[in-house]
Amino acid sequence: MKTCQEIVSLVTTESPTGETMWTRVSIGLHLRLCTHCSRLVRQLKQIARISRATREEPSPDLEERILYRLLKKDRLE
Amino acid sequence: MVRNPADNTRRTTTEDAGDGTISTSHVPQPYLSACDERSGALLRDLGERNPEALATVVRDHTRDLYRVAIGMGIPAQDAEDLVHDVFLTFLQTLDHFAGRARLRTWLWGILRNKIHEYRHARGRQEVELDNDAGLDLMAPRFDARGRWLRPPADLHRLLNSALAGTAIQSCLQRLPPRQRLIFRLREIEDLDTREICTLLDISATHCGVLIHRARLRLRDCLERAGWTGNQS
């Protein structure tokens, strides 16, 4: 049985090898039972979602502008 | 020399893997863009300065290159110029490329060098190492048996308010630079962890630890902002 501290570490750190099936099941079960850990995870997801919503999208014609500059330069050379 | 990482997998899920984890699941699958699949003919056409071939590469890769530049802290106008310069350099060095790496990897390598030159030209330091290495932000919140001593406060009021985005941006600015950079690339620009590691030239393990610290430190900052409520 993993402790709350271990669960927090597991859900916030991105392991290069990924988690084993057993670890994922263990995390899922823990989060169903632990209000504090599940609150933390919920908040982190919400923070990520809100952060992403603040992202400034490049203008729709970005590709065309760059292409135009590249082709124009090619013509001049 | 552009490193060719073993990153032949792509991010397939974002936040919710269904088991509560917020890390990414990686499912091995070919990671070739439409561009790479026909790279032989494409390279030949590019060598002949075929506008259609150039358009294909630009349309396939511009947006991601731009996002990386923004994620690396380059201002929007300069990011567009950098991306333009990446394609220029790509065309000039086409003979060296010759399909030896994935096109995407090659372009990202050029971008990495451009960003380095950009910072150098402006007398800016590369993103320095964190000064809180080894500091475990969460340790004081747990007892010796790993149970919560100081559980996470309810952030419902803050995270559901119209000011949530501003509060997060403000806390993001207070993160150590490398953690801020990784958070931007991972959570805001939605880049794959392996690609971030390659871009920053750090190990996957270090990358994972920095993401862990950035997430928790950002949340901690929001908690300290004091907008706690009681209806999470």
Question: Which of A54-58, B58-62, B145-149, B172-176 has the weakest average pLDDT?
Answer: A54-58
* B15 touches A: beta carbon within 8 Å: yes
Chain B: nearest CA to A18, how far in angstroms? 7
Query: What average pLDDT does the segment B103-121 reach?
Result: 89
Write the pLDDT tens digit of every residue in B26-71. Answer: 323 333 344 454 567 777 787 777 888 889 999 999 999 999 999 8
Q: Is the ipTM of this complex over 0.90?
A: no
Chain A: nearest CA to B208, how far in angstroms? 4
d(CA B176, CA B127): 9
Tokens of B67: 């996002």
The number of domains in chain A is 1
* B59 touches A: beta carbon within 8 Å: yes
Query: What average pLDDT does the segment A37-65 reach?
Result: 92
Q: Which residue of A has its CA nearest to B204?
A: A16
Write the pLDDT tens digit of every residue in B208-219. Answer: 889 999 999 999
Residue numbers of the domain that contains A28: 4-76
d(CA B85, CA B147): 53
User: For testing the chain A interface, which of B63, B70, B185, B187 should be mutated: the one with the most A CBs within 10 Å?
Assistant: B187
Identify the residue whose tokens are 């026909």: B38
Q: Which residue of A has its CA nearest to B68?
A: A58
Q: What is the pLDDT of residue B39?
A: 65
> Closest partner residue to B76 among A13, A40, A56, by Cβ?
A56
- B contacts of A56 (beta carbons < 8 Å): 70, 76
Tokens of A36: 């504090």
CA-nearest of B58, B54, B64, B1 to B31 is B64
Q: What is the DSSP string of B91-108?
A: HHTHHHHTTSS-HHHHHH
- Classify residue A30 as exposed, middle or buried by CB count within 10 Å of its CB (0-12, 13-18, 19+): buried
Give me the residues of B, 28-57, that contact A with CB < 8 A: 49, 51, 54-55
Q: In the beta sheet, which residues pair with residue B148?
A: B142
Tokens of B8: 């032949």
d(CA A13, CA B207): 9
